[in-house]
C-alpha cells in the first residue's frame, strides 16, 4: 500500500521524533532541581491538607468543597469582569508605524533648496485626477477606483496638496 510520501520525507519525519543526542542546555540542571523542589513542596502541602481533612466527616468535606469552588470561582469571575470593564484615564503612547510607500525625508538638509512643480507635471496630475473621476461613472470603474484608493492610501490627499502647492508657487512668482 502506497502512502504517497517519499522515502526522504518519511526519514525526515522519523528523525523529527527521535531523541536528540545534543548536549543539554546549561540551564537544564537548574530547571530539574527547581522542578524537584516544587514537586516536594506540593507533596508536603497535599499531605498536610489530607491530615486536616481526615478529621472532617463526608458532609463537612462536601460543604468545604462547595465553599472552595464558590470562593475561588467567584474571585476568578470578579477578576475577569474587572479586567474587561476597566476603563482607565491613562493614555498609552505607542510607536507610530509608517506605511511602506511613505518616504521619510530630512527637511533640515534641504533648507536652501526650493521645490519647484513644473506646469507639465501639474497637467499630468490633473489628467490623472480626471481619469480617477471618470472611473467612478461605471461599475467596473468604481471597483478599479476603490482598489487604487485602497492600495495607495493618501493618493488623493497628496494630489490635493500638490495642487495647493502649485497655486502657492504661481502666487509667489507673480
**Digitized pLDDT (tens) for each residue of the chain, 174 residues in all:** 455 666 666 666 666 566 666 666 778 888 899 999 999 999 999 999 899 888 889 999 899 999 999 999 999 999 998 878 766 656 566 676 666 665 555 554 445 556 677 888 888 888 888 888 888 888 888 888 888 888 887 888 888 888 888 888 888 776
pLDDT at 36: 94
CB 141 within 8 A of CB 135: yes
From 135, 113, 128, select the one nearest 162 (Cα to Cα): 128
Give the Cα separation of 28 and 135 in Å (integer). 65
Give the Cα separation of 107 and 113 in Å (integer). 10
String of DSSP letters for 53-120: HHTS-HHHHHHHHHHHHHHHHHHHHHHHHHHHH--------------TTPPP--SGGGSS------HH
Give, as one character, the DSSP assignment of residue 138.
Answer: S
pLDDT at 109: 47
Amino acid at each position: 500500500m502506497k502512502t504517497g510520501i517519499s522515502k526522504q520525507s518519511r526519514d525526515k519525519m522519523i528523525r523529527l521524533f527521535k531523541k536528540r543526542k545534543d548536549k543539554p542546555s546549561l540551564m537544564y540542571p537548574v530547571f530539574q532541581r527547581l522542578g524537584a523542589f516544587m514537586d516536594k513542596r506540593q507533596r508536603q502541602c497535599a499531605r498536610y491538607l489530607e491530615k486536616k481533612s481526615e478529621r472532617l466527616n463526608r458532609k463537612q468535606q462536601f460543604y468545604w468543597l462547595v465553599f472552595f469552588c464558590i470562593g475561588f470561582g467567584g474571585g476568578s469571575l470578579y477578576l475577569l469582569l474587572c479586567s474587561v470593564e476597566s476603563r482607565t484615564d491613562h493614555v498609552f503612547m505607542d510607536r507610530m508605524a509608517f506605511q511602506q510607500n511613505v518616504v521619510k525625508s530630512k527637511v533640515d538638509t534641504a533648507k536652501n533648496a526650493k521645490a519647484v512643480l513644473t506646469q507639465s507635471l501639474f497637467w499630468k496630475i490633473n489628467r490623472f485626477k480626471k481619469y480617477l473621476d471618470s472611473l467612478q461613472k461605471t461599475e467596473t470603474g468604481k471597483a478599479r477606483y476603490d482598489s487604487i484608493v485602497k492600495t495607495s492610501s493618501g493618493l488623493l490627499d497628496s494630489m490635493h496638496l500638490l495642487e495647493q502647492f502649485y497655486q502657492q508657487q504661481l502666487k509667489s512668482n507673480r
